[in-house]
Structure 1
Amino acid sequence: MNRLALLASTALGLALCTITPAVAAPPTDTVETVTSCGNSGLQAGLATRVCAEITGTTVTFYGKVGLAGPPSPGSPLPGVKELLTTLSVEVVGAAPPQTQVRPVLFAGATLEVRAPAVTAPCGSTVRGTFGVASFPRAANPVVHEVTIGC
């Protein structure tokens, strides 16, 4: 009879485990990445935009270069353009901007130019500036600012 009681209680316990859903606590160390972009601008005859990826207190800015619109019907695709890109990142009021200048070849497909990640304290404003020049056209940089919330 004891074996029967043990078997019945085990079966009851297993039945309760399958009825009651298991709830796992969400991980507390998961940090979401938020992406935001500034307004687009026209530089060197191309559409440009600067965007920011914010993860916690780390910000990574990147500039995007693409065609300003579709080519006219019957016209050939644009040729390869040599561009000189300038991407600056600055924690406003805390440090001078970090600037990288990089030559790139634009062949019609949208491309991204990334800056190194910057870490800033909570409440800081971080500014990204992206300029694109192509001889004889000078850069007309686009700017995007984000505030680090914690």
Structure 2
Amino acid sequence: MTTAAVIGIAGLGIIAAAPVASADPTPTPTVTCGAYGLQSGLSTKVCAEVTGDNVRLFGQVGLAGPPSPGSPPRQPQSLNLRLSGNVGGVSLGAVNQDSLFHYSTISVFGVGGTVPCGSTVHGSFAVESYQWPARPVTVDLVLPC
């Protein structure tokens, strides 16, 4: 047997021993957001990230747009942020967080869990400050089967 034949046979053994790719890939997360809310120059939204049968809700508050040229710097605002969710009236949790808002977007996490397919998930995110009451934004989605 020649050296090339031995190397070829050895190479086939290495190929045969290579691991086979998994037939069950990890599910890709999908994100669905409700309509934006506008309040005192701020934009709010609530979203649901779904991976398989797991749902994670999150809320965000940020500037509604860039500051107007020549406008004075925005003063920090003390905000109370409330995120909650449920499935058919059963709570997925709630988060109540006080934050100081400057110019950076603030995200709130911590609500979610495993949800049966075909169920309707409801999420709500509210932002409140001394100057104005909360105007909650919502998201509703049915988990696909």
| TM-score bin, normalised by smaller chain | 0.7 to 0.9
Deviation at residue 100 of structure 1 after TM alignment? 2.4
Q: Which runs of 4+ in 1 moved over 3 A?
A: 6-9, 11-18
CA distance in 2, matches of 1:78, 1:112: 19
Query: Residue 116 of structure 1: which of 107, 111, 118 is its match?
Result: 111
Query: Residue 52 of structure 1: which of 48, 61, 73 is its match?
Result: 48
Which letter does structure 2 place at the counterpart of 1:41? G
CA distance in 1, matches of 2:9, 2:2: 11
Query: Residue 139 of structure 1: which of 118, 129, 134 is its match?
Result: 134
When normalised by structure 1's length, the TM-score is: 0.80
Secondary structure in structure 1 of the residue aligned to 2:27: coil
Which letter does structure 2 place at the counterpart of 1:42? L
CA distance in 2, matches of 1:126, 1:12: 57
8 Å contact from structure 1 (residues 43, 131) kept in 2: no
Larger Rg: 1
- Structure 1 residues 118-127 or 27-36, which shifts more? 27-36
8 Å contact from structure 1 (residues 44, 133) kept in 2: no
What CA deviation, in whole Å up to 9, does each residue of 1:56-111 have, x standing for no partner?
111111111111111111112211001111111011x2514633221111011111
Overall identity of the aligned pairs, in %: 40
2:36 — aligned with what? 40
When normalised by structure 2's length, the TM-score is: 0.83
8 Å contact from structure 2 (residues 29, 49) kept in 1: yes
1:31 — aligned with what? 27
Secondary structure in structure 2 of the residue aligned to 1:117: strand
- Structure 1 residues 67-76 or 36-45, which shifts more? 36-45
Structure with greater strand share of residues: 2
CA distance in 1, matches of 2:71, 2:99: 24
8 Å contact from structure 1 (residues 44, 139) kept in 2: no
Aligned residue pairs, count: 144
8 Å contact from structure 1 (residues 130, 143) kept in 2: yes
8 Å contact from structure 2 (residues 124, 136) kept in 1: yes
Q: Map 1:1-150 onto structure 2 (within 5 A).
A: 5=1, 7=3, 9-13=5-9, 24-26=20-22, 28=24, 30-91=26-87, 93-96=88-91, 98-150=93-145
CA distance in 1, matches of 2:92, 2:31: 21
8 Å contact from structure 2 (residues 31, 49) kept in 1: yes
Structure 1: runs of 5 or more not aligned: none
8 Å contact from structure 1 (residues 77, 108) kept in 2: no
RMSD, aligned CA: 2.7
